[in-house]
């Protein structure tokens, strides 16, 4: 094999490795978009509010420049009132306005800081990335819990979150259930699914049973 052929094979190998890395990065971005909710709604609301306030401010300033009466409130009057707060304003009303502003401020802050994860988990696969809704996972785990407990479908309710799986069971009256056995059965199903992140299982047995059919 000549040196040029070796060089060509080396370049092809590097290009192949680079292509695989790019494909993995693209797939990781797709999975992240599926797992985490975007901020487009809140961003649109914030942008709309800023645009409306800016247009209103320009309108009031324009009216003041041409010596026309203010549409709602004169900008200079508004600045004077802000500078002399809380004089001339009902303390209760001021507290309500402050609470509302604090609520929206915390809402936007938490939306920016927290990951905003959707109700989904990923499943391992050698060829592709699989994203499953938590409702689908809950349905499969409810079936496993129902078989382990020997109860009907209506007696089992499973709630799946990012870190926990809560199995709520209403036992049949007069029939004792083993919560640990049910928990182990559900945990085995969760481990078989290889969910990421892996949730912890908790089983709750209702104190009041239902009448068997």
Residue 71 has pLDDT above 90, yes or no: no
Residue 167 has pLDDT above 90, yes or no: yes
Cα-atom radius of gyration of the chain, to the nearest Å?
30
- pTM for this entry: 0.54
Task: Specify the residue for token string 């083993």.
Answer: 178
To the nearest whole percent, how much of the chain has pLDDT over 90? 14
What's the whole-number mean pLDDT along residues 82-100?
78
What's the whole-number mean pLDDT along residues 164-185?
89
By the 8 A CB rule, do 201 and 182 touch?
A: no
Question: What is residue 185's three-state secondary structure?
Answer: helix
- In this structure, the strands spanning 200-205 and 164-169 are parallel
Asked whether the bond before 212 is cis by omega within 30 degrees of 0, the reply is no
Give the chain's domains with CATH numbers.
Answer: 40-113 (no CATH), 120-205 (3.30.300)
Ranges of beta strands (E only) in 50-99 are none
How high is the pLDDT of residue 145?
A: 92
């Amino acid at each position: 094999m000549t040196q040029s052929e070796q060089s060509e094979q080396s370049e092809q190998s590097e290009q192949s490795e680079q292509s695989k890395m790019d494909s993995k990065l693209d797939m990781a971005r797709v999975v992240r978009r599926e797992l985490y909710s975007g901020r487009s709604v809140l961003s649109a609301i914030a942008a709309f509010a800023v645009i409306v306030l800016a247009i209103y401010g320009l309108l009031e300033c324009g009216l003041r420049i041409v010596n026309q009466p203010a549409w709602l409130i004169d900008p200079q009057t508004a600045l004077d009132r802000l500078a002399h707060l809380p004089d001339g304003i009902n303390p209760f009303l001021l507290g309500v306005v402050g609470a509302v502003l604090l609520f929206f401020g915390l809402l936007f802050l938490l939306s920016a800081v927290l990951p905003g994860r959707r109700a989904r988990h990923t499943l391992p696969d050698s060829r592709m990335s699989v994203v499953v809704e938590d409702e689908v996972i809950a349905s499969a785990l409810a079936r496993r819990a129902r078989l382990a407990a020997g109860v009907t479908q209506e007696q089992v309710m499973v709630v799946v979150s990012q870190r926990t799986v809560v199995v709520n069971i209403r036992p049949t009256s007069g029939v004792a259930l083993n919560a640990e056995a049910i928990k182990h059965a559900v945990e085995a199903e969760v481990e078989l699914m290889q969910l990421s992140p892996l949730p912890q299982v908790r089983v709750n047995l209702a104190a009041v049973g239902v009448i068997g059919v």
